[in-house]
Structure 1
Amino acid sequence: MAVLTRSQAAAEGARKSILRFPNEILSMVIEYSSTLELWALCHTSKRLRSIATPMLYRNIHLHSAEQTVLFIRTMQSQPSESSEPLWLRVQEFVIANDNELVGATSQIIDDLNSLVIKMTKLKHLLLSSKGYIDFTHLLRNSNLRCLQTFRYVLHPTPSSTDSEEFLKFLARHRATLTTLHVDCEKPIAFMGSIDLPLLHTYDGPSWVLKFLQKSVASLRSVVLRWKEPDIDYRSPLKQLSKAHSLQTLEIVIANISPGRLREPTILAAVAQYVPHIQILRFSRSNNLYGFSFDDLMPMRQHLSRFTALSELRFAIFRRESVSAVNDDLPILDAWLRVCGTLYLVHLDGLDWRLVDGAWIPSG
C-alpha cells in the first residue's frame, strides 16, 4: 500500500476540494444555499467567506432592536476582501412590525433610514410604520432603481407629509414597480393619480384603486380590503372592469357587519364588472357570517355571468340547520350547469374538486 507524504496528501486533498473551482462556479453553487448553510460557509475559509457573505445579506428581515444594531454595524464595517459595499448586495429588506424594534435609539433609526437609502439594488422593500419608526426620510430621499415590490403600512392617522412623501415615492419608482401592498386604517387625501404602468399585483384598501387610473389595466392579481367606514364596493369593482388581464381577485372584509356588506351582494357586482376572472376568493377577518346556507342556490344567477371562473372560495357561512356534507352536491351541480369552468369550490372549510365529472370533497 502506497503511503502519501504530507505534501502529497495536501495536494490530493486540494484536488478533491470544492475550492479547486473558480469563484464564478462556486458562486453558482453557493447561490442555492440556505441562510444557515451560508453562515456555515462563512466560517470555513477566507475565500468562501468572501463569496458567501454577500449572499448572506441578500434578504434582510429585522425583528428586534438588537438585531438592527448588529445589522447596521456589519453594513458599516466593509470587509477588505469584498469588491463592493454589502448594502449593494441587499435585494430584499423587511420590517414586518416596527413595534418589535422598540428600544432602538433615534440615532439607530436615523442610521437605518440612511442605510436603506443606499441600497440602490434593492428589489423588494416591505415596511411597517404603525407608529414607532418614522420612514419619511427614507421615502423622501430614496431612489431604488431596481425596486419591484413595495409594501407600506402607514400610521393609523398619517400626517399630510407622510402621505405626500408616500405618493412621491411611488411616482419616482413608477418605471420598475410591479407589486404594491398598502395598509392604511383611514383613506388619505390623494392629489391627482398614481401611474404605475408595470403594476400587476395590488393588495390594499379598495379606495386606492380609483387613484391608480391607467395602472389598473395591467393588473393580474388583486386583493381588496374593506374596512369601516369604507363600504363602497361598486366603485372599485367598476374600476377593475378596465383590468382585462385580471386573473385573481380576493375580497377581504374587516370589521364590517354582514348587514352592511354581504358576500352575495359583492358577488353580483363582481359578476357584472369583472366576469372574466379565473379565481375569486372571499374572507372575513372576524367571526361574523356574511351569508347563510340558503343563499347558495340563488347565487346561480350571478355565477352564470362568469366566463372563465375555475376557483371559488367562501371562507365561512352559516348553515341554518345541521346537514350532511352531501347537501352541498345539488348546489355544486347547479353551479356547474351555469358556470361550466368551475373545478374547485371551497365551502364552510371544505374543498370540493371536480374529478371526472364528479365533485370530490377534501379538507
Structure 2
Amino acid sequence: MAVLTRSRAAAEGARKSILQFPNEILSMVLEYSSTLELWALCRTSKRLRSIATPLLYRNIHLRSADQTVLFIRTTQSQPSSSESSESLLLHVQEFVIANDNVLVGATSEFIDDLNSVVMKMTKLKHLLLSSKAFIDFTRLLRDSNFRHLQTFRYVLQPTPSSTDSEEFLKFLARHRGTLTTLCVDCGKPISFTRSIDLPLLHTYDGPSGVLKFLKKSLGSLRSVVLRWREPDIDYRSPLKQLSKAHSLQTLDIVIVDISPGRLREPTILAAVAQYVQHIQVLRFSRSNNLYGFAFDDLMPMRQHLSRFAALSELRFAIFRRESVSAVNDDLPILDAWLRTEWTGDWLMVHGFLRVRRWMID
C-alpha cells in the first residue's frame, strides 16, 4: 500500500495547481474575473500578477473625481525608465470618463496631469471623454497620436476664440486610418473650417449640424444618431446629406429640449422617407415628456412609411398613458391605429412601441 508522504502530498498539490496551465490559458480564464478578483490575484504571485495586471488596467472607467485622482496618482508613481515596458498605462486599451460630473470644477493642474497620463496610453483603442463642463483637452488633441484608436467621444467648446475645434480636426486627421466611431457633443452650434475625411467611419453620434462636415465620410456610415437642440432645428439638410450614405442601416433621431411645435416627429419622418428610405431601423426619442403626434398626422404618416423598402424596426417614444392622458387625448387613437393598420408583431417595452415585420395594405 502506497504511503502518502509530505513531499508526495506537496507534489500532488503542485500538479493540481492553477499554475500548471500556460499563461495563454490563464489569461483567457482570468478575463472572466471581476476587478476585485484580478486585484487579489495580483497579490498572490509574480506570475499571476504579470498575467492579471494587463487585464486589470485594460479598461479604465472613471466614475468619480476621487477615483480619477487615485488613478492619476497610481500611474504617476510607476517607474518610467528600466521598467517602462511594464508601465500600467501600456495596458490601457479603453479609457472612459463615464460620469459627466467627474471633471466639473477640476483645476488646470489636474487637467494637465490627466492630459499627460492619457497621452502615454500608446495602445489605446477607445477614448471617450465626457464632462458637463468644457474641459481644456487642447494639449491632448494637439500632441497625442494613438495608432490603434477606433472610438473617440469628445465635447467641443463652442466659444469662437477657442482653438479646440481646429485641434479637433487635426486630431481626427491623424487618426483617419483607424477611427471607426465618432461621438461629438456641443452645447451650441459650431462650424469647422473644412470637411472631415474619415474613410473607415461607420458610426456617428452627435449634432445634426456637424454631419455636413462629414460629407467625405458618408459612404461608409452604417449607423447614425442625429441630435437636434435649439437653435439647430434644420432637419432637411442633414437628412438630405444622408441620402449619399448608401450603407446606412440604422438611424436614431434624438430631439433635445425642443417642443413639438418647433420640431415634430411626423415632419421629420416625411424627410426621412424622402431621402433615406433604404434604412432598416428608425427610432425616435425625446429628452422631455412632450408628445409630438396629433390625430391629423396618422394618415400622412402611413403614406410616408409606405415608401420604406427595407424597414424592419420602427420606434416612437410613447410615454405611459397615465402621464399623458390629461395632456393629449390622441394617444389612445395612435395606439389603436398602430395596432389595426399594421400586420405583424408588436411589443410594448418600457414606454416604447416597437413594430417589426409589417406590411402596408
Interval of TM-score (by shorter of Structure 1 and Structure 2): 0.7 to 0.9
The answer to whether the Cα contact below 8 Å between 1:315 and 1:348 also exists between their aligned partners in 2 is: no
Query: Does residue 234 in structure 1 map to residue 241 in structure 2?
Result: no
1:171 matched to which residue of 2? 173
CA deviation string 1:13-37 (max 9, x = no partner): 1100110122222222223333233
The answer to whether the Cα contact below 8 Å between 1:131 and 1:155 also exists between their aligned partners in 2 is: no
> In 2 relative to 1, CA 82–143 (structure 1 residues): closer, same or farther, beyond 3 Å?
closer
1:346 and 1:239 map into 2 onto residues whose CA distance is 33
The answer to whether the Cα contact below 8 Å between 1:251 and 1:281 also exists between their aligned partners in 2 is: yes
CA deviation string 1:190-232 (max 9, x = no partner): 1110000100000000001100012011111111000000110
CA deviation string 1:71-120 (max 9, x = no partner): 22332314988953221110110113453245755433322211111112
User: Between the two proteins, what is the percent identity of the paired residues?
Assistant: 79
1:102 and 1:331 map into 2 onto residues whose CA distance is 44
CA deviation string 1:132-176 (max 9, x = no partner): 632111111000110000000223547431111111111111111
2:330 and 2:176 map into 1 onto residues whose CA distance is 53
Per the TM alignment, residue 41 of structure 1 is displaced from its structure 2 partner at its CA by 1.7
2:5 matched to which residue of 1? 5
**Tell me, which stretches of 5 or more residues in structure 2 are unaligned?**
none
Residue from 280, 298, 301 that aligns with 1:299? 301
The answer to whether the Cα contact below 8 Å between 1:310 and 1:344 also exists between their aligned partners in 2 is: no
1:1-363 to structure 2, matched below 5 A, reads: 3-76=3-76, 77-78=78-79, 83-97=85-99, 99-101=101-103, 106-131=108-133, 133-155=135-157, 157=159, 159-316=161-318, 320-321=328-329, 328-336=335-343, 343-344=345-346, 349=351, 351=353
CA deviation string 1:22-79 (max 9, x = no partner): 2222222223333233223223222111110111000111233332232223323149
The answer to whether the Cα contact below 8 Å between 1:50 and 1:82 also exists between their aligned partners in 2 is: no
Give the letter for the 1:201 counterpart: T
The answer to whether the Cα contact below 8 Å between 2:95 and 2:124 also exists between their aligned partners in 1 is: yes
> In 2 relative to 1, CA 98–264 (structure 1 residues): closer, same or farther, beyond 3 Å?
closer
CA deviation string 1:263-282 (max 9, x = no partner): 11100000000001111011
Per the TM alignment, residue 355 of structure 1 is displaced from its structure 2 partner at its CA by 8.6
The answer to whether the Cα contact below 8 Å between 1:311 and 1:344 also exists between their aligned partners in 2 is: no
Q: Secondary structure at the match of 2:146?
A: coil
Q: Secondary structure at the match of 2:227?
A: strand
> In 2 relative to 1, CA 119–198 (structure 1 residues): closer, same or farther, beyond 3 Å?
same
Q: Secondary structure at the match of 1:128?
A: coil
Give the letter for the 1:253 counterpart: I
1:356 and 1:283 map into 2 onto residues whose CA distance is 21
> In 2 relative to 1, CA 356–73 (structure 1 residues): closer, same or farther, beyond 3 Å?
closer
Would you say how many aligned residue pairs link Structure 1 and Structure 2?
Answer: 351
Q: Secondary structure at the match of 2:177?
A: coil
**Tell me, which stretches of 5 or more residues in structure 1 are unaligned?**
337-341, 358-363
Give the letter for the 1:217 counterpart: G
Per the TM alignment, residue 329 of structure 1 is displaced from its structure 2 partner at its CA by 5.0
Aligned CA RMSD, in angstroms, stands at 2.8
Per the TM alignment, residue 345 of structure 1 is displaced from its structure 2 partner at its CA by 6.9
1:158 and 1:57 map into 2 onto residues whose CA distance is 38
2:284 and 2:352 map into 1 onto residues whose CA distance is 14
> In 2 relative to 1, CA 344–265 (structure 1 residues): closer, same or farther, beyond 3 Å?
same
Give the letter for the 2:213 counterpart: F
Give the letter for the 1:53 counterpart: T
1:360 matched to which residue of 2? none
Q: Secondary structure at the match of 1:14?
A: helix
> In 2 relative to 1, CA 347–312 (structure 1 residues): closer, same or farther, beyond 3 Å?
farther
